[in-house]
Chains A and B, each alone.
Chain A
Amino acid sequence: MPEKKILTKNCGKIDPGDVSTYEAEGGFKALEKTLRISPEEVIAEVKASGLRGRGGAGFPCGAKWELARKSKGDEKVLICNADEGEVGTFKDRYLLQHDPFSLMEGMAIAGYAIGAGKGYIYLRSEYHYLLEGLQKAIDQSKEKGYLKDLEIEIREGAGAYICGEESALMNSIEGKRGESRFRPPFPPESGLFEKPTIINNVETLVNVPHIIQNGSEWYGAMGTDESKGTKLFCVSGDVARPGVYEMELGCDLKELVMDLAGAKEIKMIQVGGSTGGIIPSDMLSTPLAYETILGSGAVMVFDQTRDVVDFTYRTMEFLNEESCGKCTPCREGTEVMVGVLGRLVNGEGVDGDMEVLEELSDTMKLSALCGLGQTAPVPVLDTLKYFRKDYENRISQSVFLRSLKTVNG
């Protein structure tokens, strides 16, 4: 399956600083079509397309919109999540850099469908260099009359991974610490400033004009049963050609990393970001889809020279730093995991370390407040499953090192 450029068809072709080049490629035609039908019909079309959230969680987009549409409340809010903090993910940056107008069109359609008059783009501060271009895209789209019913404001983060989590993101916009909220209530019912709110990832919103323009049937013909359309994959790590690749969902992981990105002698691949699952080299033919493994679309490749325990330690250190600290299972759980993994990395492991990691993983999965804590154990459990020998070696090496110390000491 070769690359299939739908979301990225304009990238490199249009001038991201000039709206008329976007119009020349058929831009805003989907918005015109949208305004001729009812919001309910727009939602029905998006529902029928099978579009699911592209930020990582994969919630059905149309169903979410419907909840917000039906929600009581005079003012509804649309938020575009451009916080892209997931490790190894840079697809939204690519879209914002090369085709910000597609996002404007997607937001205008989404705003119309749910009945939102106010829209926010929450941009991570690491992407501050995109702010000017994005503001220009808003201004130009507005000048041309495409954002008549939706006022879009950019809000910047200040360096916090957790703010990509939707409830933390809303707290951040409200001027609070970016900590996750208890749910319910869910955002479509009560979100930003307690108003019905829809939060969609950049890539999700960029899908919308294509669905409206070409119809849900056309869209639904791409992908698998539960994963429709195309997806942007961000390939990084031990590959010859890192970058963004757009493929039909259900495509072959092996083809993506080996044929397209030029990976060789693979040991394992982490798919979906820091809390993504691990695919060992003998399972490379796994299809990339919501049914199997997908997440944010980050694909990090590790070759045979890489150390699994080092990787897990580094990943857990990241999650521990970025845990917002609100709930105990995540705040303390990631702390203890860093301690145990750090012991193993430093040759100070003890018998029972693997069991401690497994038990703690179960607790965190069950009891953490949000996705960060619930999925933080995934890379630990997956590496324990596929590379248990590497952990066992670390422990036996630790025991050996200690025995030397005893002899010498």
Chain B
Amino acid sequence: MERDQLLGMIKEEQAKNGSVSDGAMAHIAQTLHLPIGNVYGVTTFYSFLSTRPLGRHVIHICKSVPCFLQNGAMMAAAIEKELGISPGETTSDGRFSFELTNCIGACDQAPAMLVDDEVYGDLTPEKIGEILKSFE
């Protein structure tokens, strides 16, 4: 195994267990014969990787300018109200984590968000409620 597999391995760990724990980082470091600091450095560099446990579904709502112009902040507020959590938090039942993110390249459907890997555009507070209901 070469070092260039590192990001893929971290991503796989996150996909499988929802986050990258200290133990997982240590294990990856051993497998690739890397200092654990390198693994930690890469894990914490990227905004879609997390060292703290996340919910079963992760909502990334776009806060960049094109979405902001189309009331993106109102959509973030709608999610806060719907789930009772602020950005960076996870619901107590572990169903959702909610994050603000930078441009997701769906500016033609602004305001937009990702729930896990799916993109949802042309959001309204009502639509958000409907979308979130479809997730277990």
Name A's B-contacting residues (CB within 8 A): 84-90, 92-93, 124-129, 155-161, 172-178, 193, 234-238, 242-244, 270, 274, 298, 300, 302, 306, 311, 314-315, 318, 321-322, 324
- Among residues 78 to 136 in chain B, which have CB atoms less than 8 Å away from a CB atom of chain A? 101-110, 114, 117-119
Cα–Cα, bound, A193→B48 (Å): 25
Q: A86-B103, A90-B106, A178-B46 are in contact. Are A158 and B69 (CB under 8 A)?
A: no
Select one of A236, A238, A318 contacting B107, CB under 8 A: A236
In the complex, the chain B residue whose C-beta lies closest to that of A242 is: B108
**Does A159 lie within 8 Å of B64, measured CB to CB?**
no
* Closest chain A CB from B71 CB (angstroms): 12
Known interface pairs A127-B105, A128-B117. Does A175 touch B69 (Cβ–Cβ under 8 Å)? no
A176 and B43 CA atoms in complex are apart in Å by 10
Pick from B2, B7, B65: contact of A300, CB under 8 Å: B65
* Complex interface: chain A residues within 8 A of B47 (CB): 158-160
A-B contact count (CB 8 A): 130
Which residues does chain B contribute within 8 Å of A175, judged by CB atoms? 2-7, 32, 42
Roughly how many angstroms separate A311 CA and B119 CA in the complex, as a whole number?
Answer: 25
- In the bound assembly, the distance between CA atoms of A86 and B117 in angstroms comes to 19
Tell me what chain A mostly uses at the interface: helix, strand, loop, or mixed: mixed
For residue B100, give the distance in angstroms from its CB to the closest CB of chain A.
Answer: 10
- Given A88-B65, A237-B69, residue A174 in contact with residue B3 (CB < 8 A): yes
B109: chain A residues at CB < 8 Å are 242
CA distance A234 to B109 in the complex (A): 12
Choose from B3, B48, B103 the contact partner of A125 (Cβ within 8 Å): B48
CB distance A160 to B45 under 8 Å? yes
Interface core residue of A156, A176, A324 (most chain B CB under 10 Å): A176
| A-B contact list, 19 entries, CB within 8 Å | A89-B103, A89-B105, A124-B105, A126-B104, A129-B119, A155-B7, A158-B47, A158-B49, A159-B48, A160-B45, A173-B7, A175-B4, A175-B6, A177-B45, A178-B46, A237-B70, A238-B69, A274-B103, A315-B65
B57 at interface by CB-CB < 8 Å: no
Docked pose: A237 CA to B69 CA in angstroms = 6
Starting from the known contacts A159-B46, A242-B110, A300-B65, 8 additional A-B residue pairs (CB-CB under 8 Å) come to A87-B65, A87-B66, A88-B64, A159-B47, A161-B102, A193-B4, A236-B107, A237-B107
Task: Report the Cα distance A314→B66, complex, angstroms.
Answer: 11
CB distance from A317 to the nearest CB of B (A): 9
Whether A318 pairs with B119 at a CB distance below 8 angstroms is: no
Q: Please give me the residue from chain B that is nearest to A317 by CB atom.
A: B63
Chain A residue, CB-CB nearest to B60? A126
B102-A314 in contact (CB<8A): no
Contact B66 A88 (CB under 8 A): yes
Task: Pick the contact of A88: B6, B46, B103, B114 (CB < 8 A).
Answer: B103
Q: Whole-angstrom distance from the CB of B116 to the nearest CB of chain A?
A: 9
Contact of A158 among B2, B48, B106, B119 (CB under 8 A): B48
Q: Which of B45, B66, B104 contacts A236 (CB 8 A)?
A: B66
Bound form: Cα–Cα A93–B109 in Å: 13
Cα distance A155–B65 when bound, in Å? Answer: 28
Q: Is the CB–CB distance between A311 and B65 below 8 Å? A: yes
**B23 contacts A by Cβ under 8 Å:** no
Task: Report the separation of the CA atoms of residues A174 and B38 in the bound assembly, to the nearest whole angstrom.
Answer: 12
Q: A243 to chain B: which residues have CB within 8 Å?
A: 108
* A322 B65 Cβ-Cβ under 8 A: no
A318 touches B64 (CB 8 A): yes
B10 at the interface (CB under 8 A from A): yes
What separation, in Å, do the CA atoms of A318 and B54 have in the docked complex?
23
Q: Contact check: which of A127, A172, A321 meets B102 at CB < 8 Å?
A: A321
Kindly state the separation between the CA atoms of A4 and B90 in the bound complex, as whole angstroms: 47
Q: How many angstroms from the CA of A29 to the CA of B47 in the assembled complex?
A: 41
- A160-B45, A175-B3 are known contacts. Are A90 and B101 too (CB-CB below 8 A)? no
Chain B's nearest CB lies how many Å from the CB of A334? 14
Contact present for B102 and A87 (CB under 8 Å):
yes
Chain B residues in 8 Å Cβ range of A321: 102
Interface pair B41/A177, CB less than 8 Å apart:
yes
B108 and A236 form a contact (CB under 8 A): yes
Q: How far is the CB of A2 from chain B (nearest CB, A)?
A: 20
B4 and A173 contacting across the interface, CB-CB below 8 Å: yes
Name which of A128, A175, A177 has the most chain B CB atoms within 10 A of its CB: A175
Which residues of chain A have C-beta atoms less than 8 A from B2's C-beta?
Answer: 175
